[in-house]
Structure 1
Amino acid sequence: MLIGHYKTIIGTFAHMTNKVILLVDDDIDDQELFGEAMSIVDSAAVCHFASDGEEGLELLKDNSIDVQLIFLDLNMPKMNGKQFLEIIKQNEQLEKIPVVIFTTSLREKDGLETAALGAAHFMTKPSSFGELVKQLEGVLEKALG
């Protein structure tokens, strides 16, 4: 479900052969499903996972991985998705990484707030694996321009 008006995902991600994707989500089951779906959508993609915003920031600031796209849950312990998004969009090295909100929230307010903070897209977690694959295909198609 697309809420509000979002920027098109742009940048170097569109020209990468081995896409490096970070999913920041505290739900281990969602991490596993996301990884499986992404391997169907793009077998060359490399997925990294963080269980909350703090862990996600550590991975990004470590510089050991070159993330081209972030999928971000909103409701997490320690540091939630909005806090994480606000921090990375204020960091010169991280602000250009497109962020896709990946959440169970259906609240339009969440969509508007995250768009204002710099999210490129708002994606509601689907109820089926097949729908997840379709949604990821759509997001990556936009990213690949």
Structure 2
Amino acid sequence: MQDKKICFLIDDDEDDQEIFSLALDTLDIDVTCITANDGIEALNRLNIDTDFTPDFIFLDLNMVRMNGRECLAEIKKLSRLKKVPVIIYSTSSEQKDITETRMLGADDYIIKPPSISLLVKRLEQVLSRDS
């Protein structure tokens, strides 16, 4: 039997966190969502709790204390997370943002969809890729 997957969502919008969790709950994949409210909180958790290694990291770009690009650069410095896919999860559909985050090491880019059903489909694609 396969272990439960852990998704680490870094997003400062509580509504987006809730929508993301609801979408994950509808998937036919055994997955837990752990959240951080910003990049600083996320990096503190990742740096202090060295036993915490999520299977996927979903990262918002537009956060107040530390933006997603800065957080992504710091995550990529942590050698134990080298194989953990980092997926940008943002409202921005700007090609510049997609290109820049790919160059910084993001594995994928999800534009926050207008409905939970579309998010579910997109998450299924991302999460089943590495099953």
- What is the CA–CA distance in structure 2 between the aligned matches of 1:19 and 1:54, rounded to whole Å? 23
Amino acid at match of 2:4: N
Equivalent in 58, 65, 89 of residue 102 of structure 1: 89
How many angstroms apart in 1 are the aligned matches of 2:53 and 2:39? 17
> 1:55, CA displacement in angstroms?
0.6
The structure whose RCO (Cα within 8 Å, separation 6+) is larger is: 1
Residue 30 (str. 1) matches residue 23 (str. 2): no
Q: What is the TM-score normalised by the length of structure 1?
A: 0.84
1:42–1:21 distance in 2 versus 1, CA, 3 Å: farther
CA separation of 1:56 and 1:42: change in aligned 2, threshold 3 A = farther
Q: Is the 8 A contact 1:25 1:31 kept in 2?
A: yes
Unmatched tracts of structure 2, length 5 or more: none
1:113-128 equivalences under 5 Å are 113-128=100-115
Using the alignment, how far apart are the partners of 1:16 and 1:97 within structure 2?
Answer: 17
Root-mean-square deviation (CA, aligned residues, Å) is 1.6
Percent identity reads 44
SS in 2 for 1:100: strand
Distance 2:129 2:26 in 1: 17
Q: CA deviation at 1:16?
A: 5.3
Q: In the TM superposition, what is the alpha-carbon distance from 1:42 to its structure 2 partner?
A: 4.1
1:130 alignment partner, one of 117, 120, 128: 117
Is the 1:73–1:81 Cα contact (8 Å) retained in structure 2? yes
Work out whether 1:18 is the aligned partner of 2:4: yes
Question: How far does residue 97 in structure 1 lie from its aligned partner after superposition?
Answer: 1.5
Residues 81-118 of structure 1: CA deviation (Å, up to 9, x unaligned) = 10010111122122322100000001001111110111
- Equivalences, count: 130
TM-score, scaled relative to structure 2: 0.92
Matched position secondary structure for 2:120? helix
Residue pair 2:53, 2:81 contacting (<8 A) in 1 also: no
The residue matched to 2:80 in structure 1 has which SS? Answer: coil
